[in-house]
Amino acid sequence: MKKKSYLYCPFFIFLLIFSSCAYQTDQPTNLELLSSIENAFIEIAEQSKPAIVSIVSGNSRRRLNRFGSGFIFRQDGYILTNDHIVHGAKYIGVGLLDGTKLDANLVGTDINTDIAVLKVDRDQGFPTLPLADSEKVRVGQFAIAIGNPFQLDYTVTTGVVSGKRRSVLGGLTFIRYQNFIQTDAWINTGSSGGPLLNIYGEVIGINALIRKVENTPAPMRAGAGFAISSNLVKTIGNQLIANGKIIRGYLGIKMAEVPQGIRIDEVVFGAPADRAGLEWHDIIVEYNGKKVQKSLEFRLLIAESQVGKESVIKVLRRGQERTFNVTIAEMPPEMAGLPFEDESVSWKMLGLAVRKLEKGDSQRYTYLTEKDHGVIVERVKENAPGSNAKIPRGALILAINGKEISDVQTLEALLQAERDALELTFDIKSSHGTEKLTVHLQK
């Protein structure tokens, strides 16, 4: 056996040397590899720039005090950007790569996710950037940020995805829904609203903020960058286009993460959780069959639930597993960080803020159909006649004293005519079904 072994060994070594040499000659050099990577970044930048815009906003064309970025994601001129760039602005302007300046209309904005949608118009269609599936983003993959830091248009920076599902802001008076992608690609003032891209030129997120390094000089904001995940951007963007605003589900609890799940630290009186029988110190372990452990993910599940839909919540109560059916309500405007002013007759007389019934409501409120008519109750003031009569938020007012309500103007006119009445009979439709409620007016 030894003899046979030595006989074949020199030939085997020759094959190894030959195959190794042949393999090496087919491989690109280090310089060629670097050149290939460099060209890939250049191509992504060149292909993406036509769909990326600069944004200016302020009180007027002459009083511009905010600058940022955005990108076109639909050929008919819809632009995604950050809420903090355009919130409250009376004028918004958009600049294209070719130098064209356009006036933009604000379609809708969501302070809770820092997402806004703008609309610009021209005769021909616009170039667009596609949205990637952010669930498929992997930590360590390349990330390319393009924006206008310090008004330096179309600045390109590269890095990697440093983390996923980040939640970084605390101490706010309103609820924020966060699902950030962390990156070390350089982001700075003015980069907000611009896209964070993968190597295919797809948007994996909207650049939103940076966590500043302590003791960094004032003009510099270098640090960890955070982008709003593309899946959240897509969901919010499409809702804003359809409805002009976001309707979120509401459970009515304060919570904390514990090893077993989500512990309830407080139940808001009269909220869906309270009505369903959930209690302080219950530990939520499942929501509609999905295990829950992170408060961020649980908040998003509640927020994205349909208003009026019955959800199944499984909890641990004193070590015993229990199941509750909870009808999700609409989040109160004050909890969404939205300002509220109402000088209407319905607010002053009943403590009810109402709005017109819109096309998308039948998709969001499970108890409504496209054939319904009336006005939606947007807000209910505590201890006011409407609240005392148990008219819930999200209810559809069909009629008052037998007279059909077709729009807000009809409601206001009817209430004005009934100012001296002692009580009013409402026909409403809500998650409790269709019913008549008597409202006793305060005199």
- Residues acting as catalytic residues: 84, 114, 192
Q: Are 96 and 124 in contact (CB under 8 A)?
A: no
The token duo for 241 is 């286009």
Q: Which residue has the tokens 């950030």?
A: 180
Cα 226 to Cα 419: distance, rounded to the nearest angstrom: 53
Q: Are 336 and 174 in contact (CB under 8 A)?
A: yes
Angle at alpha carbon of residue 412, lines to 432 and 340, rounded to 5°: 75
Question: 3-state DSSP call for residue 314?
Answer: strand
Q: Find how far residue 349's CA is from the centre of its chain.
A: 35
Going from the C-alpha of 226 to that of each of 139, 211, 230, 439, the distances in angstroms are 13, 8, 12, 49
The token duo for 92 is 């918004």
Beta-bridge mates of residue 428:
397, 435
- Strands, E, within 128-193: which ranges? 142-147, 155-166, 180-183
If 0-12 CB within 10 Å is exposed, 13-18 middle and 19+ buried, where does residue 261 land?
buried
